Every structure is written in structure tokens, then in C-alpha cells.
Amino acid sequence: MWINETESASFWSNVFEDLKERGVEDILYMSSDGIAGFKGSLETVFPKTQSQRCVVHLARNLHSLCNRKEAKQVIADFKKIYTSTSQDEAELMLDVFRSNHADKNRIVKKVEDFMQYLEPLFELPAEIRKCIYTSNAVESVNSALRKVTRGKGAFPSENSVFKVLFLRIQELTEKWSRPIQNWKTIQAQLIEIFGDRYTKYLTV
């Protein structure tokens, strides 16, 4: 864990360099919320990493542009785009979105801009996409950590913060027992896509 006042490019560069020094040799795929400096810093240290934007964060961004009455339908139509089975189907759903929301120029333009972030998803099999299209698993952990630090006033030191977070993570670890769905299929797909970048870390 790292503590810093801002999430700057230099901060993320230090994080990834630290991970590399501690033994991380490769990162296959990354999903992030699009924070400035993250993607570039990661690819500088781990240049082979494929990256994408978290779809849930894109949906939240889109939701913030909608009024209450239109938000539900806009997000539902956007979901039809990012859950498409292929790039061609996604383009078709984008045309449907344009037609359904022709009077919302700002929202349509935003969805068109988002397509560049969705394209990497359609290069992957459906089983893998379901696992990585969102960073919600990480967000869930972050939310649990905020609950044990928010409203606590000032901590006497950084070390005391780390202790509280460590204990909370230990509690969360006991709940992380649900396996990844279709893991055997996904593992075969990872082998086909990444080859020895993946297989060399498998234990037989």
C-alpha cells in the first residue's frame, strides 16, 4: 500500500517501479478508472500491458450528464453497446443509441468518444471480458478500507494507518472464497492469447 497526497504520473511511476523491484515481471491486462498519468506510467514500466477503461466508470460519467428522467434509459442503451459480442455489433448498437437519443447531442458525443475505450474489450473472448471489463472488485476493497478510516480524525502516524488497513484486509481475505466463473475456459483462452507470457508462471 502507498500513501500520497495526489495521484500524479510521478506517483504512479514510483508505484510501478516499486512493484517491479519487488518481483512483478509482467502485467498482462489492466482496467482503470482513467485517472491522469496512470496508463502512461504503467506502460512505461510494463510496456506490453494491454489496457482499457473501466466500463462502470464510463457509465457513471455518462450518468452525470443525464437528468433523472432520462438517466435509466440512457445507461440501459449504453450497456447494450459495451455488452455486445463483437465490434460490429457494438457499432450497430451505437447507431441505435444515436437514433434513440438524437435530441441529446452532448450525451451522444460522449458515447462516441467512449468507443475508443471499449474497442479493446471486443478483442477478447466473452468469458474474459466478463472478468475484466470493470474495476469494481478493486472499488469494493477501496470502499471497505474507507469505512475503517473515514471519520476517525487524525492518525498519529502513517504506520498506524497501515496497521488499520492491514487488519481490515485480513478480514476481507476470509470472504474471498468465490472462484472465478468458467476459470478452466478462461485459462485456456489466456494461454492462447498470451502464450509463454502466461504459461511460464503456471505451476504443474
Please count the CA atoms within 13 angstroms of the CA of 147 that sit on its side-chain side. Answer: 10
Confidence (pLDDT) at 155: 85
Condensed to tens digits (0 to 9), the pLDDT of residues 93-152 reads: 999 999 999 999 999 999 999 999 888 888 889 888 888 876 667 778 888 888 888 877
Confidence (pLDDT) at 97: 96
Rg (CA), the chain: 20
Report whether pLDDT(30) > 60: yes
Condensed to tens digits (0 to 9), the pLDDT of residues 57-97 reads: 899 999 999 988 999 999 999 999 999 989 999 999 999 99
Relative orientation angle of helices 68-82 and 87-100, to the nearest 10 degrees: 160
The stretch 20-43 carries a mean pLDDT of 89
Confidence (pLDDT) at 2: 83
Q: What's the whole-number average pLDDT of the chain?
A: 89
Confidence (pLDDT) at 6: 82
Q: Which residues face 30 on adjacent strands?
A: 51
Sign of the torsion formed by the C-alpha atoms of 35, 189, 17 and 15:
positive
Report whether pLDDT(48) > 60: yes
Confidence (pLDDT) at 135: 63
